[in-house]
Structure 1
Amino acid sequence: MEYTDKEYCLEVWGDWACFTRPELNVERVSYDVITPSAARAIFEAILFKRYAMRWQITKIEVINPIKWTTIRRNEVGAVAGKSPIYIEDKRQQKNSLLLKDVRYRIYAKLVFIPVKNRSKEAFGKHQPGNDENPMKYYQMFERRASQGQCFTQPYLGCREFSASWKYIDTTEDLTSPLNEDRDLGIMLYDMDFDKNPKNPDAMFYRAKMEQGVIVVPNKDSEEVLR
């Protein structure tokens, strides 16, 4: 049976955001706007069922003007392991070029994965019925989103920059996006977990904002650079 993926919309905003450019990893420098991977993570904070569904970002609307600020933050220059970390010895001060006062509307399709197309790992703890259909997941997301529920706190690039959000159940009478065109250049699209879940490669795409709207290509599109 063929299924039609249903599209949803969230409006997200926050005082600070940092969608870090991977080529500038010594000190954090943000992209001009939210990346598709960061937008996907916001939807997944509300509903994520591995093997059963995934989110495909389709469109991003930039509502507030793009504004920048610089701050200096304390970071820990070590990875937690078996040995304890003494923060006083590993503390590093780094400058960060951040976005401030951001607001976006992000659109995504809930892509249902039929039972026959799921990997063997999906049946380790739970055996779904062959008649499982996407309506189950549509209703789960709509119920949670309409009540403001989420599994984890959504954030804007970095976990310390928490995001406020609301579910948009109708696209009528919405605030117009930013009246601006901008070529945003090559931007991080997402990580390719399908081919290599343990060590995924980065995917990129050429992002263009027209009248405040960024159309995000499908993952399998030739526009996505691997």
Structure 2
Amino acid sequence: MPTRRGAPPTRCGRCWRTVRRRPAWWPWAAGLGEIPATIVVPDWIAPPKRAAIERYGARIVVQAGSHDVRNRAAAEIAAAEGLVDIPPYDHPVTIAGQGTWVLEAFEDTDAGVETIVVPIGGGGLASGTALGAAAAGSRASVYGVEPAGADDTRRSMEAGHRVSIEHPDSVADALLANQPGTITFGIMRERLAGVLTVSDDEILAAMRLIWERA
């Protein structure tokens, strides 16, 4: 059983809420420290993703409804069971962690990087990337990319405030947040050079190219 607040950090339970690829590596990371993990997932989660979560020993809670509904469900579970609630993107630590990849990338290349393109769901990766690039002293322009059917960040940028999409829809099921986060939107609005959108046909064509030639 997850231990309560006040227990040593290595034994404190975690409750994650997410729709992304991260469900697989979060329970994997938790397992390394023998930390019980609870993952709140949508009812439409892809079977391979659910299987990966189960394989790493996490408890799965299936929650129908919007991303906001899952957020509330995860917060309620964490409060009721004394767990630490970790948002999938709208939290400073989550954003900082997602930005580490760009620091590693700059360590691996001496070439001058002029443009960085990063996918946007709730904005954690895009925010972390923009902050990480700046911290590395890079002058690269960071662009976010969203599915055309889930372009809440693009709409929010144009409106100047966070806009919610009732039913985001795309083959890119890892990017179906219906609204950018409060923290992430502020960072993206300040740091991104722009937000682009791509159609599902373009996404599938890119996937096919990777499968065939990568």
Which bin holds the TM-score, normalised by the shorter protein? Answer: under 0.3
What TM-score, normalized to structure 2?
A: 0.24
Comparing both structures, which one devotes a greater share of its residues to helix? 2
What TM-score, normalized to structure 1?
A: 0.24
Comparing both structures, which one devotes a greater share of its residues to strand? 1
Q: Which protein has the larger Cα radius of gyration, Structure 1 or Structure 2?
A: 1
Q: More relative contact order in 1 or in 2 (CA 8 Å, sep 6+)? A: 1
